Chains A and B, each alone.
Chain A
């Protein structure tokens, strides 16, 4: 049943997309709220030239890279393969 498979795949993509979006939102707003509410902690100097805030800011950028990489890797392998299978099946079923 390509139609059911398609819906299933759509739901799966939607779930992963939402989860990863939520991860990014939580990480970024966590950072912003710390900047807003806990300035002393963000300004604490860990080692010469590096504060907690700067480290966390760099980690936000890393998290953006990492989440896009996770999504792209999943979509390039699992999603595209399943989608290719569905396309083939639809083509086979065509009279």
Chain B
């Protein structure tokens, strides 16, 4: 079906047909990562190893793993597709997703490493009352993880169906099961190394595609951009339809910029390194790698527009998601297509594994150990609960993937970023840097930030017009961050000032000291 449509456009593609090379690469990747999992499983005996890889990952390794966690299929296939179909506009996403990283470095990474154990709730709950803070932070975490997971699982189902010709349900089940194997047996050690392998493959694959595409333009990116401008008009080099309303642009920018610093699966990675210095080094590496990757996706998008053609790209997939794989086929034949398809698959698997692990940490470390057991739990039980939570989340992920089949879930990544930016980020920043923050303030900022994001997205044009086919939306912006981030900060501050908490105030000096010094030796 797919290649028939493409053939009508005058180009034939092997996308959608079983591709021997793709299958070989795919099995190779699975074999290598399961090998890693087997090796990791033998070293995963304690909760610290399960959730934090025994704090044994180096700064550079963690930088690659962070990049692996962050460079999702949405950013690889999605941005390349957006650039291919609308040119310049893709750059708005690329820059927004990158500038979150300096913020993570300056405000979050080191305090987080010094104050916490496994989750960002550790940091918020420090010096505050455990139960209310943990419960609300776990809800914030699980909301982000759930929406991000839905987007990834539905993306996985569509992508694998498109590339390997498997059925949607089979694809979702395969992703769920392989991911579960990594996390359940190999915990954070396996997840980290899967991320590192995936980041390496993705960067290498994108680089190879760039070099091959640019070789047709004398290795001059400007010649490529110019060719695109010749073919589609100079409008491809200018801002287009993505940003029409300035407030919309600012709101999206806020969510992208501060959302990164509130993503639980990203924050959790800082606990895998031995100290604050290594946490700092890891963001330095991650920023470099991710920036480089986004520069490459820009070239890939233009390369696909010129060498493949927009007509073919949108004929194969309306959203433009197949731009990069199609480009691979044109510049490197079925072999390169197979490699890129396998890389895209690996990308989804790794991101889903990271998300599941952070959800499991919220369930077992925050809710079970610190709420149900009041902070006293033996190590054996903790690990058992962690694994049970992993299995439960794996099943939920598969179920969500199947339930949301055929739905437009693109907005869910935006939703996850909005919740992370307005629920988790303000609580994290205030708890670290503001002496007078209280338990009630923390709960209020997380709950208000999360709920207001959910409600405003429900009332936004994204849901009311795009999904429900209505004609008007009560709330004008597609992304609520412009309202919800200031709201969450304001509520947190006002509630804290109205009812001061003496204990929390007195213990701030201790928190500040530990934030700089780390755990006292």
CB within 8 Å of B: which residues of A?
A: 6-7, 9-10, 13-14, 16-18, 20-21, 24-25, 27-29, 31-33, 35-37, 39, 42-43, 45, 47-51, 53-54, 57-58, 60-61, 64-65, 67-69, 71-72, 75-76, 80, 83, 86-87
Contacts and interface: CB of A to CB of B under 8 A. Distances in A.
A6 B114 CA distance: 15
B107 A51 contact: no
Given A21-B103, A49-B225, A61-B295, A32 B513 contact: no
A83 B295 contact: no
Contact of A32 (B88, B94, B221, B250): B250
Interface string B198-229: 00000000000000000000000111111111
Given A6-B516, A10-B515, A32 B249 contact: yes
Contact of B280 (A7, A65, A75): A75
A53 B107 contact: no
Interface string B237-253: 11100010110011001
A51 B99 contact: no
Contacts of A16: 106
5 contacts: A24-B102, A25-B257, A39-B238, A49-B237, A50-B222
Interface of B: 88, 91-92, 94-96, 98-99, 101-103, 105-107, 110, 221-229, 234-235, 237-239, 243, 245-246, 249-250, 253, 257, 277, 280-281, 283-284, 287-288, 291, 294-295, 433, 512-513, 515-517
Contact of A13 (B96, B225, B253, B516): B516
Given A28-B257, A43-B234, 5 more contacts: A32-B92, A35-B243, A43-B88, A49-B229, A53-B237
A70 to B, nearest CB: 10
A45 B234 contact: yes
B95 A43 contact: no
A69 B287 CA distance: 10
A57 B222 contact: no
Given A21-B107, A48-B222, A67-B102, A33 B229 contact: no
A64 B440 CA distance: 35
Nearest to B91: A57
Nearest to A7: B512
B511 to A, nearest CB: 11
A43 B96 CA distance: 19
Nearest to A3: B513
A76 B280 CA distance: 9
Contacts of A6: 513, 516-517
Contacts of B223: 48-49
B246 A54 contact: no
A49 B229 CA distance: 7
B284 A61 contact: no
A28 B253 contact: yes
A91 to B, nearest CB: 8
Contacts of A49: 221-229, 237
Contacts of B235: 43
A57 B89 CA distance: 10
Contact of A64 (B88, B99, B221): B99
Contact of B98 (A37, A64, A69, A87): A64
Given A36-B250, A51-B88, A43 B239 contact: yes
B518 to A, nearest CB: 9
B80 to A, nearest CB: 15
Nearest to B220: A49
Contact of B284 (A7, A54, A72): A72
A25 B246 CA distance: 16
A36 B246 contact: yes
A57 B95 contact: yes
A54 B88 contact: yes
Contacts of B243: 32, 35-36
A35 B92 contact: yes
A54 B246 CA distance: 19
A23 B150 CA distance: 35
A68 B237 contact: no
Nearest to A44: B238
A14 B35 CA distance: 44
Given A53-B88, A68-B287, A20 B250 contact: no
Contacts of B238: 39, 42-43, 51, 53
Nearest to A19: B106
B103 A24 contact: yes
